[in-house]
Amino acid sequence: MTLWLTPVLIIVLLMLFAVSYRYLRRRYPEDNHSLVDTIDAMLPQTQCAQCNYPGCRPYAEAIAGDRAALNLCPPGGTALHQQLIELMGHEQAGAAAPEPADNVIAVIDEPQCIGCTLCLPPCPVDAIVGASGKMHTVVPEDCTGCALCLPACPVDCITLVAVSAPIQQRRRKRRAQRDPHNLTNPHTAPRGCINCGHCNPVCPVNLPVQELIRTVQINQSERAVEFGLMDCVECGLCDQVCPSNIALAQIFSDTKAEQHKRLDDSETRGRFKARFEAHVARLTAAEHEAARRREARLQRHRDANRWQ
């Protein structure tokens, strides 16, 4: 009996050790700052405060410290909620994914604007342009639709207007989709790549087409980029010589569009984050300057009273 009891006991102990190790690593990570950076990079950087935190970074810090739920970001929606669950390795009981936020931007009714500038400080990315006593306007490409400017307006001249796409897609140039039937025989069904190599010599920019299609088909887009995917001109010459009738140009076009989307999303998030940090720095500097002037006035008042 002891012959089989000993291995079972060892297995149980190893499982307990693995569970404890995973819990301790999550509870006390070696580099919590690194975890915060990872979570912060996942967040949409709209700085909308819908999570009840003053920005995306504070929310990331709260998640890393197990002080906040994972479903408090409507702009991130279900996709972000799932990513956070996979990263943190747990999900709160009964926590549902947040309802995705509508794609909106703020619009100022310019004839009604009184130029009070009260809407400028609440905007986390400084998307509102205006001066005291002058008409204000919103830069559509920079507005994240956070709605923080609405309660600040004393004349209610700011409204949210629905747009067809989020900010990343509004800034992205639309690419025409190539119809593979214009480049291949519509009566011949495509087959798998047979590694014939006929596509490589005809490429006008000397790309390794065979390696590209192989890496794309196994979902290694980053590897395909290293092979020069983004240099493809989508001329369709490789389609014409492919004996398997694979719509190579269409596949490369779709993959390039996905890569452009990732780059655009990352660039937009970084831009929002930089604008938010500059916004906070500007407000902090203004507060310090106001405090310095206030202290100077008080000191002058004290000096004046001293000689009375």
pTM of the predicted structure, to 2 decimals: 0.56
Q: How many other CB atoms sit within 10 Å of the CB of residue 128?
A: 22
**Highest mean pLDDT pick, 136-150, 217-231, 260-274:** 136-150
What local confidence, expressed as pLDDT, does residue 236 receive? 83
Task: Set out the domains of the chain in order of their start, with CATH numbers.
Answer: 19-88 (1.10.15.40), 102-170 (3.30.70.20), 172-308 (1.10.1060)
What local confidence, expressed as pLDDT, does residue 191 receive? 62
Does the pLDDT of residue 106 top 90, yes or no? Answer: yes
Query: Rounded to the nearest 10 degrees, how much is the dihedral formed by the CA atoms of 11, 16, 19, 24?
Result: -140
Does the pLDDT of residue 124 top 50, yes or no? Answer: yes
Handedness of CA 240, 242, 245, 249 (dihedral sign): negative
What local confidence, expressed as pLDDT, does residue 24 receive? 66
In tens, the pLDDT along 86-96 reads 888 776 655 77
